[in-house]
A and B are shown apart, each in its own frame.
Chain A
């Protein structure tokens, strides 16, 4: 019947994926976004968050394109 186990895994993975991207992008905006005046470490931290967020999005592209994972 219903594969509740795999549904739970999908739910947890969705939460981690979506909240991960949103948290990183938000932190990036907070530290290095427009209308911020941070410099130095905090600015670098913000940029790092954007980069990590970009990596997560790249992982999404990797998952979408089947040629990358036969």
Chain B
């Protein structure tokens, strides 16, 4: 059972990686600052590095959402197993729909569903659910949107039109920062899940930090996922919401980085995915002449709204099946594998690859080349 949960946790880590590539790399790919392959390569390396440099490990995977211990539910490998199935399936559904949704919320949702089946609604701490998940989910895109809006206004007020291509170089740095911050946070979650499973299974002593091999495999899983590239979500975030120019991309990434760093260091946790999506919307409002496709934005918001209930439903079903014993667990696995394969087969029918994201040559406007002769002419 423990080995099974570890395998599932690593698969979740992988889906987390390719789901969240878009947060950092959608905008530089959209503006042509980085080619798609190079972008996901950088993101993968930074996620790998990020997983190693952070030592703080999520001690409670659910962040207090689930009452456990003496007065609550006991977190068993079986419960984590059911929760992970919910999280993975929901991550894949949102991926095939191209929706940027929070992987952490999917994980919370799956675990909540599994806990409700095990212990009833008393096992859920509703006030923490509101204050740590629901309200930040509303505030994150608004905050990031406002910051990105202001940053975009500044960028376009200060620079002249023909200088704005220069923002491409800046984008490389800001998007890399987002990737690094992501790696230090998200690989931690899976390490926390695996370590808790090992502790619950009696293999590791309570309160100890993760084994080195756990850190290693988690880092590799998230980096592989990132390199695979969730092109569908990158397409939504980079091209679906608004047309992004280099200046906007730079402003949006600066806003995303600032909001993530401020929230992790000043104690008001915001979801990376929601911050990144908010930034893109904000920068779309900020540039004159750009339009935001609110229909797409609405679809994304709807996705956020149902992430926790949907993952919880799947988690609950999986947990209910595990109560049948070994047959249930095998049944869970068979059904989950069938759905995963089904989603992949379905996704092939309208595959989105890195080739769909390259810029058309005509989309580049290089005013630099056109202006130079005129300048020279005026001088002589």
A-to-B contact residues, CB < 8 Å:
1-3, 6-7, 9-11, 13-19, 21-23, 25-27, 29-30, 33-37, 53, 57, 60-61, 63-67
Q: Please pick, from A10, A37, A60, the residue contacting B143 in the complex, using a CB distance under 8 A.
A: A10
Contact B154 A26 (CB under 8 A): yes
Contact A13 B163 (CB under 8 A): no
Q: How large is the interface on B (under 10, 10 to 19, 20 to 34, 35 or more residues)?
A: 35 or more
Contact A67 B177 (CB under 8 A): no
Contact A26 B155 (CB under 8 A): yes
**How far in angstroms is the closest Cβ of chain A from B277?**
15
Q: Which of B165-173, B315-323, B335-343 lies at the interface with chain A?
A: B165-173
How far, in whole Å, are A64 and B250 apart by their CA atoms in the complex?
19
Contact B261 A22 (CB under 8 A): no
Contact B147 A2 (CB under 8 A): no
Q: Please pick, from A18, A30, A63, A65, the residue contacting B147 in the complex, using a CB distance under 8 A.
A: A18
Additional 12 contacts, C-beta under 8 A, given A10-B259, A30-B159, A34-B163: A3-B267, A3-B268, A6-B268, A13-B266, A14-B143, A19-B154, A21-B174, A35-B163, A35-B371, A35-B372, A63-B265, A65-B184
Known: A18-B255, A19-B150, A37-B375. Contact between A10 and B266, CB under 8 A? yes
Which A residues touch B164, using CB under 8 A? 29
Contact B263 A30 (CB under 8 A): no
Contact A35 B162 (CB under 8 A): yes
How far, in whole Å, are A3 and B266 apart by their CA atoms in the complex?
11
Which B residues touch A33, using CB under 8 A? 159, 163, 166
Q: Does B160 contact A (CB under 8 A)?
A: yes
How far, in whole Å, are A25 and B164 apart by their CA atoms in the complex?
11
**How far in angstroms is the closest Cβ of chain A from B57?**
11
Known: A6-B268, A18-B257, A66-B56. Contact between A61 and B180, CB under 8 A? yes
Which B residues touch A60, using CB under 8 A? 177, 257, 261
How far, in whole Å, are A27 and B166 apart by their CA atoms in the complex?
11
Which A residues touch B262, using CB under 8 A? 9-10, 13-14, 17
